Amino acid sequence: MKRTFIFSLLTMATLIFCQNALAYDYYVNGIYYRKVTQQAPGGGCGETILIVVNNDEPNTYSGDVVIPESEIINGQSFRVTYIGSEAFYGCINLTSVTLPNNIVNIGFHSFADCPLLNTIDIPAGIRQINSNAFSYCYELDYIYIHATEPFFLWDDAFADINDHVQIVVPCNCIEAFEAAEEWQGIQLYDDCGHVGVGETETAVMQIYPNPATESLTIEADGMVTIADEMGRVVKTLFVDDKQTINLQGLSRGFYFVKAGNEVKKIMVK
């Protein structure tokens, strides 16, 4: 089945191509590519780039896939800047994907229905994530976003996964992302251990025993952080109902356990 790409009007000026291509044009080092030439802002043809696609069927890729920043084809170097719609769709044996820094767009359903994918890093140069990009990735635990400013996000880009996926933005960038219209209502965390407002910050937390010695049981739903008396985060974890953690390596003293809006003080003996 041959597929075409659909892009939002927001980025249409930079995503109009000077020719249409169907299926894939090249297969290089285990990756299928479509070669397209972008339309320059003032008209005419601009840079020719590569889009990662599949071999015209789902379940094309498996294992650990590394997308390069560029590929040399017929003696000419082309940057890889787009993950095409449904590029990794239905790849049931896909375990990880490494994206290059120059990826700017992740297409519709691009990583949907990849049951073994549990983490993914979104590079700093990203400008858009499209509808249902990660749908049905039920083992996906973390999405690390390295962009320091909010980018365009379709309202269902994280459909059916935000209740169990920890979406992490750079340290102290939560407020900027949550202020952006497209990011309203999405539960976010940052890599300093801070929790955004989102929609799931009302969890009721139970912790025991307190004082604790070798282990601590936490009953909560969502992101939990443990910080020392100086405010330094010493542990970060995602709790689904109840989890017991090992306290080995923590010095004796007081610590603060946070889940959503709730903070409780514990003593480690």
> pLDDT tens for residues 107-160?
999 999 999 998 899 999 999 999 889 988 888 888 999 999 999 988 788 877
Whether 187 has a pLDDT exceeding 60, the answer reads yes
Q: What does the DSSP assignment read for 170-197?
A: STT-HHHHHHSGGGTT--EEETTS-B--
What pLDDT does residue 176 have? 93
User: What angle is formed at CA 111 by the lines to CA 92 and CA 196, rounded to 5 degrees?
Assistant: 125
Whether 53 has a pLDDT exceeding 60, the answer reads yes
What pLDDT does residue 38 have? 82
Whether 20 has a pLDDT exceeding 80, the answer reads no
Judged by DSSP in three states, 89 sits in: coil
Distance of CA 92 to the CA centre of its chain: 18
pLDDT digits (tens, 9 = 90+) for 113-124: 999 998 899 999
- Domains belonging to the chain, first-starting first, are 9-190 (3.80.10.10), 206-268 (2.60.40)
pLDDT digits (tens, 9 = 90+) for 188-210: 888 877 777 665 444 578 999 98
What pLDDT does residue 232 have? 72
What pLDDT does residue 261 have? 65
Over residues 47-69, the mean pLDDT reads: 94
| Closest among 192, 150, 186 to 171, alpha carbons compared | 192
* Cα–Cα distance measured from residue 252 to residue 132, given in angstroms and rounded to the nearest whole number: 46
What pLDDT does residue 231 have? 65
More confident residue, 2 or 223: 223
- Compute the mean pLDDT over every residue in the chain, rounded to the nearest whole number: 84
Whether 213 has a pLDDT exceeding 50, the answer reads yes
Over residues 57-75, the mean pLDDT reads: 95
Residue pair 100/72 in contact (Cβ under 8 Å)? The answer is no
What pLDDT does residue 147 have? 95
* Cα–Cα distance measured from residue 127 to residue 104, given in angstroms and rounded to the nearest whole number: 5
What pLDDT does residue 159 have? 75
Helices (H), the chain: 12-15, 174-179
pLDDT digits (tens, 9 = 90+) for 71-105: 999 999 999 999 999 999 999 999 999 999 999 99
Adjacency order of strands within the sheet including 142-145: 119-122, 142-145, 166-169, 188-190
What pLDDT does residue 51 have? 95
